[in-house]
Structure 1
Amino acid sequence: MAAEGTYPPLFTLKPVDDDIWIVDGPEIDFYRMDFPTRMTVVRLSSGDLWLHSPIAFDADLLAKLQALGAIRHLIAPNWIHYAHIQDWADAVPAAETWVAPGVRERAKDRDVRLRADHLLSNDAPPAWSGDLDQMIVPGSHIHREAVFFHKKSHSLILTDLIENFEPSKLPWHMRLFTKVAGNQDPDGSMPRDMRLVFDKPKLRRAIGRMIAWEPQRILLAHGRWYPENAVAELKRAFRFLDP
């Protein structure tokens, strides 16, 4: 049975648009708080699959994915979202792993086995440059997040730059915490503690580039995602950057 704070059905491909799906996973314990998890799956024009922030490995889900195409790319978009990359890499040895700056160092510090084949950068590699735009949003030397835009579906794919926890799915202490942190629906945003590590002018330019992509929706790793009005949601969530 799915935990109360998750988004059932879990380990199930949920279509977003042509060639893009989300898959909701179980909660993870992050500093003694339960966070729901979500993976985004893109089928590239080559027919290969691209998995963003893979959730916990599940053999049945693997079979469903392989029915769509060959899993070729496993994406760890920031220093927190790499926990399940190795399990998927072990199950699909032909897949390449791509990690954001800081992920390798984090795994090494925690003595976690991680195969990190490639470092993500501001330029999309040839394997998916026709399907996805990307950039690295710089924060501290620790937190840098890779952000992606699926051109065909006009979907912006974020990880922790916006979190949007729904109060009805939270225990009382997390309702209080997320309210204070500024990442609670309907006004989900970047957590206030995370804002401290970002240079405002650089972050403002990054948000400007996201807006220039003209996304129609925003897919999130944690909480309710935004199926429409993406530009308005970006402006709302990052209004703390206004002069």
Structure 2
Amino acid sequence: MENKAMLQPLGLDIWIVDGPSIQFYKIPFETRMTVIRLQNGDLFLHSPIQYNRELATELETLGRIRHLVSPNWIHYAYISDWAETYPQALAWASPNVRERARKQGVKVRFDRDLQDSADPEWAGDLEQLIVHGSKVHTEVVFFHKRSKVLVLTDLIENMSSKTLPLWIRPLAWAAGILAPNGKMPIDIWFSFSGNRDKLRKALTRMLEWKPETVVLAHGDILRENAPQRLREGFRNLAPCGHGH
């Protein structure tokens, strides 16, 4: 398969790599890693995909593999493989991920915890915030200033029907996650029902960053009219200052 596990540039110092799909609730989900080269030459691997030597070699030509980042509680499975190969790298934990890994019997050692604002290691390159408030889902989002790319994980899914088995397509449509109009999955949306104010504040902050592209872990990247697509992706939740 061409282009599998190979870097695709998205902008200055930012790439994506699409990996093999994984089964989650018996549904195949494609995997995607976002790679950012920081100003000091270190690499930030967001949601690392399955380790393979060919990909690792390609990454080494870009810089030193330094940050292995779990952006939410279900995106961590391959961090330990990368950490084993690159012992000098730091593994970053998102909220609730340690508990999830323990429950799943996955051995992974996290070195540091992601906070609500960018760590000094990458504050010059990235903005970040934790989208709190859901009983089901908490996610750390990142904005790469240089390329104006917003990096989301599961807050919006925009899955091409071509990648889904026939029986899943009507379910994906009902859940609101089919491209080209993919949105926040309906279960995540309902889990924020008591905390829409927190979600609204998070959306407002993301729009203030003025993203031009939005990367998603699952499905087609939002490349045009990014602010408008972001609002639609948050199911037309009005940002702060735009009426409630």
Are 2:42 and 1:48 equivalent residues in the alignment? yes
CA distance in 1, matches of 2:135, 2:184: 18
Alignment of 1:32-47 (within 5 A): 32-47=26-41
Alignment counterpart, residue 165 of structure 1, candidates 156, 159, 177 = 159
Say yes or no: does 1:194 pair with 2:188: yes
4+ residue runs over 4 A deviation: none
Which deviates more from structure 2 when the two are superposed, residues 153-162 or residues 103-112? 103-112
Does residue 222 of the first structure (1) align with residue 187 of the second (2)? no
TM-score of the pair, normalised by structure 2: 0.94
Tell me the equivalent position of 2:149.
155
Q: Distance in 2 between matches of 1:239 and 1:104?
A: 30
1:116 aligns with 2:100: no
Q: Secondary structure at the match of 2:207?
A: helix
What is the RMSD of the two structures over their aligned residues, measured on CA atoms? 1.2
Deviation of 1:168 after TM superposition, in Å, equals 2.5
Give the distance between the partners of 1:113 and 1:11, measured in 2 at CA: 24
Select 2:232's aligned residue among 232, 236, 239: 236
TM-superposed CA distance for 1:142, in Å, is 4.9
Please tell me whether the aligned partners of residues 102 and 141 of structure 1 are also in contact (alpha carbons under 8 angstroms). no
Which residue does 1:29 correspond to in 2? 23
Mapped partners of 1:183, 1:196: distance in 2: 14
Listed one character per residue, the Cα deviations across residues 98-129 of structure 1 (whole Å, up to 9, x for unaligned) are 11110011111222101111111111111000
Deviates more, 1:150-159 or 1:133-142: 133-142
> Is 1:96 matched with 2:87?
no
Q: CA-to-partner distance for each residue in 1:32-91, whole Å, 9 max, x for gaps? A: 000011100000000000000001111110010011100000000000100111111111
Counterpart of 1:128 (choices 109, 112, 122) is: 122
- Give the SS at the match of 1:51: strand
Count of residues in correspondence between the two structures: 237
Which deviates the most, 44-53 or 219-228?
219-228
Under a length normalisation based on structure 1, what TM-score does the superposition of the two structures give?
Answer: 0.94
Identity %: 50
Q: Indicate if the aligned counterparts of 1:102 and 1:143 stay in contact, CA closer than 8 A.
A: no
Cα distance, 1:141 vs structure 2:
5.0
Displacement of 1:140 after TM fit?
3.1
Aligned partners of 2:184 and 2:134: how far apart in 1? 14
Contact 1:132 1:151 in 2 (8 A): yes
Which amino acid in 1 is paired with 2:189? R
Q: What is the alpha-carbon distance in structure 1 between the residues aligned to residue 145 and residue 28 of structure 2?
A: 32
Residue 74 of structure 2 aligns to which amino acid in structure 1? I
Describe how 1:170-181 pairs up with structure 2 within 5 A: 170-181=164-175
The reply to whether residue 183 of structure 1 matches residue 140 of structure 2 is no
Report whether the alignment pairs 1:144 with 2:129: no
1:159 and 1:176 map into 2 onto residues whose CA distance is 22
Aligned to 1:4: none
Q: What's the CA shift for 1:139?
A: 3.4
Q: Is the 8 A contact 2:136 2:188 kept in 1?
A: no
CA distance in 2, matches of 1:230, 1:93: 37
2:214 aligned partner, one-letter code:
I
Contact kept in structure 2, 1:79 and 1:142, CA below 8 Å:
no
Match of 1:212 among 190, 205, 208: 208
List runs of 5+ in structure 2 lacking aligned partners: 239-243
Shift of 1:239: 3.3
